[in-house]
A and B are shown apart, each in its own frame.
Chain A
């Protein structure tokens, strides 16, 4: 599978995650979100940027429980809860947000 961003074809797996993490750009994230009828707000970007930093540091995409806790620590309890994160990413914060952030699917996520 693939997506097309600014005329460039970018390879993804069958679930839409990037085949090569280095292909990621903000435009790629926007294009993926558009396909899900999602308009990326500042709040979305906060989570996406957090995920990208987390991956750089630990070389894995965090499980949703770990993500929620870590977001709470960094951005406060208003944002570090499932309700907030599921409202932003209705397909599942770990799954959907990791996809937009160009990360692999979280380990153990089915």
Chain B
């Protein structure tokens, strides 16, 4: 990533704390991430609290007649968004393991998550 006329590359963190489908937050966040990928910033995604449910494998939404957007997280790599973090404590409190996720993630503890949040230029909360 390089600097251009638009200015310096900023660190953006998208914080996902909501389960998918029950509310619109998860899908909205994903759409904003995809759109903002056009601006070539340094983007990270964090999944904590119920947000870890967004990227669980095996989602089948046909019975509730809602679009299954979980495969779209796998497209993020093609958008050069490869920094996905899952909070260990949130994952474990929900009986989940790293291999339950549909995309490669880095599992970090709460202290490291706090550090990650602190080190950003812009934080978007969903």
Asked if the two chains touch in their complex, CB atoms less than 8 Å apart, one says: yes
Q: Is A15 an interface residue (CB 8 A)?
A: no
Q: Tell me whether A108 and B35 are in contact in the complex, defined as CB-CB below 8 angstroms, given that A58-B72, A59-B69 are known contacts.
A: yes
Which chain A residues border B31 with CB–CB below 8 Å?
A: 107-108
Docked Cα-Cα span, A82 to B79, in Å, equals: 16
Q: How many A-B residue pairs have CB under 8 A?
A: 35
Which chain B residues border A3 with CB–CB below 8 Å?
A: none
Q: Tell me whether A58 and B71 are in contact in the complex, defined as CB-CB below 8 angstroms, given that A107-B31, A107-B34, A107-B35 are known contacts.
A: yes
Q: Is A40 an interface residue (CB 8 A)?
A: no
Q: Is A63 an interface residue (CB 8 A)?
A: yes
Which chain B residues border A19 with CB–CB below 8 Å?
A: none
Q: In the complex the two chains form, is A62's CB within 8 Å of B75's CB?
A: yes
| A73 nearest CB neighbor, chain B only | B78
Q: Tell me whether A60 and B34 are in contact in the complex, defined as CB-CB below 8 angstroms, given that A66-B79, A70-B78 are known contacts.
A: yes
User: B52-73: which have CB < 8 Å to A?
Assistant: 67-69, 71-72
Q: In the complex the two chains form, is A58's CB within 8 Å of B79's CB?
A: no
Q: In the complex the two chains form, is B34's CB within 8 Å of A58's CB?
A: no
Which chain A residues border B72 with CB–CB below 8 Å?
A: 58-60
Docked Cα-Cα span, A1 to B55, in Å, equals: 37
Q: In the complex the two chains form, is B78's CB within 8 Å of A59's CB?
A: no
CB distance from B62 to the nearest CB of A (A): 13
Which chain B residues border A66 with CB–CB below 8 Å?
A: 75, 78-79
Which chain A residues border B37 with CB–CB below 8 Å?
A: 63, 108
| A58 nearest CB neighbor, chain B only | B75
Q: Is B38 an interface residue (CB 8 A)?
A: yes
Q: Tell me whether A63 and B71 are in contact in the complex, defined as CB-CB below 8 angstroms, given that A69-B78, A70-B78 are known contacts.
A: no
CB distance from A74 to the nearest CB of B (A): 12
Which chain A residues border B68 with CB–CB below 8 Å?
A: 59
Docked Cα-Cα span, A85 to B68, in Å, equals: 30
| A56 nearest CB neighbor, chain B only | B71
Task: List chain B positions with a Cβ less than 8 A from chain A.
Answer: 31, 34-35, 37-38, 67-69, 71-72, 74-75, 78-79
Nearest 4 Cβ contacts at the A-B interface: A108-B35, A58-B75, A107-B34, A66-B78
